[in-house]
Structure 1
């Protein structure tokens, strides 16, 4: 998917840094990523509007975020979601890969 070779951390380390895994994030909110947007009666774009901020500002608030991760990999999850109005499975189809293949490419495991 055209990710840069220079990577200072892998996806597993990212999840450890936040003391959770992607699966645990969804469990914590009793939902999956698709249902997060439903829970707030909105999509990812409107989440940022609801909090009077955009995804970049959210990431600054937490000193990092999916937006920064996506910028690091030369993509933007918000833009992908707008363009495809879909879930992570479809994102992986666009890149002709799946989460497991991404993790294998980087010699790590997302643990989902």
Structure 2
């Protein structure tokens, strides 16, 4: 990425700082999840009985929780992109987005 985008030494240092911040955030979140016991079964729906009177309420609660998780991940990606945009020039950002698009297409082909 450094060569393709022709990053300056200052930009490289800024990206390194950003990577370290993100790594620390991930570690803290992982620790928080462990402490709160939030590591749940991947398939919560299978543990519910459709005959229970509150089945739909439980399904809605699970769906809401999942939606909040997706929203949080999306917002985090947007925040990271905004920080990258602050570091890169307009031309570099355009190349960066192009690189990300190509990488995404390759990953989908191999899935």
Q: TM-score, normalised by structure 2?
A: 0.30
Larger Rg: 2
The structure with more helix, counted as a fraction of residues: 2
* TM score, norm. by length of structure 1: 0.30
